[in-house]
Amino acid sequence: MDFRTACEEVQVLRNAGEEVTLTVSFLKRAPAFLKLPLNEDCACAPSDQSSGTSSPLCDSGLHLNFHPNNTDTLSCSSWPASPGLRWEKRWCDLRLIPLLHSRFSQYVPGTDLSRQNAFQVTAVDGVCSGIIQCLSAEDSLDWLQAIATNISNLTKHNIKKINRNFPVNQQIVYMGWCEAREQDALQDRVYLPTFLALRGSCLYKFLAPPVTTWDWTRAEKTFSVYEIMCKILKDSDLLDRRKHCFTVQSESGEDLYFSVELDSDLAQWERAFQTATFLEVERIQCKTYACVLESHLMGLTIDFSTGFICFDAATKVLCGQL
């Protein structure tokens, strides 16, 4: 209703006499354009300072945009009539989650309970998408694989940039999220998010992705890749209902149990671990360890080109070679 029409209707009411009968029509569903905050301060209004993010108030998806070639006019008390304004539909960003170093899960946090056709995405700063419910298991898997692919591509690109600042023997081979199973079964959360990285000769276990060089010195745990063993678990070896799991056994006999979301994540980890181990073995060639044989202190050298050498630690006399 424009100003002129409103004035005419007021004049009709004034001349109608003492009794006036009004008929009111009720709209069960208001048109989408009535939901828009039509004023100059509306986030939907065109502006040179616009960031490209729409207001959540504009849930109808209808926006006013300026088009110089548009000859349609729009009259509204809150907007000046202009030959360049017309209605246009576009997406509204209600929440933006950067995928670099983000993680996703189809499990209830801390448990082995899988949500049915649902998942959530959590950014590196902790911002969460909330539960995203899909119509079918196929749709959910498609979304998970698409998100995983994007995260993987972003991570690979980021690794390439970071590796420019590291020497050849300290290159990053792998970085990514998984969930570590806590050995204390009395805890409320059996699984906790863990960030793993393979760099140079070490496997790093972080609580959050390393951003600076200093962060690499503050890892929760560090293991030498040539002194640990990684095992991809079969279904019969799983400890609970989580699939796609693997263990890492350290030189001290400590077993670490990890879970990833997809089979492709598990395959990517396995390839990365094998690559990191091969590169380090090729670099060091041989390693000597202290050991005890029949109460005598001995030395055991593992040479990856000649084999095993055992010698007396005091006299250096060879006791055997394989």
28 vs 134: CA distance, rounded Å: 29
6 Cβ contact partners less than 8 Å away, ≥ 6 residues apart: none
Residue 309's nearest CA partner among 287, 277, 294 is 287
Q: How many residues does the chain have?
A: 322
Residue type, 276: A
**What is the full DSSP assignment across 259-281?**
E-SSHHHHHHHHHHHHHHHHHHH
75-123 tens-digit pLDDT: 444 444 555 566 666 777 778 899 999 999 999 999 999 999 999 999 9
User: In the prediction, which pLDDT does 50 show?
Assistant: 38
Instruction: Look at the pTM and tell me if it is higher than 0.75.
Output: no
* pLDDT tens digits along 121-152: 999 999 999 999 999 999 999 999 999 999 99
Q: Which CATH architecture has domain 101-283?
A: Roll (2.30)
Q: Is 255 left (phi over 0), alpha (psi -120 to 50) or beta?
A: beta
**Tokens, residue 104:** 């996703």
CB 256 within 8 A of CB 222: no
Q: Which residues of 257-270 are buried (b: 16+ CB within 10 A; e: fewer)?
A: bbbbbbeebbebbe
| CA pair distance 37, 44, nearest whole angstrom | 8
Q: What is the residue extent of each domain of the chain?
A: 101-283, 285-319
For all residues of the chain together, what is the average pLDDT? 81
Question: What was the pLDDT predicted at 87?
Answer: 62
Structure-token match 């909330």, residue found: 130
Tokens of 198: 């393979």
- Classify strands 255-259 and 229-232 as parallel, antiparallel or unpaired: unpaired
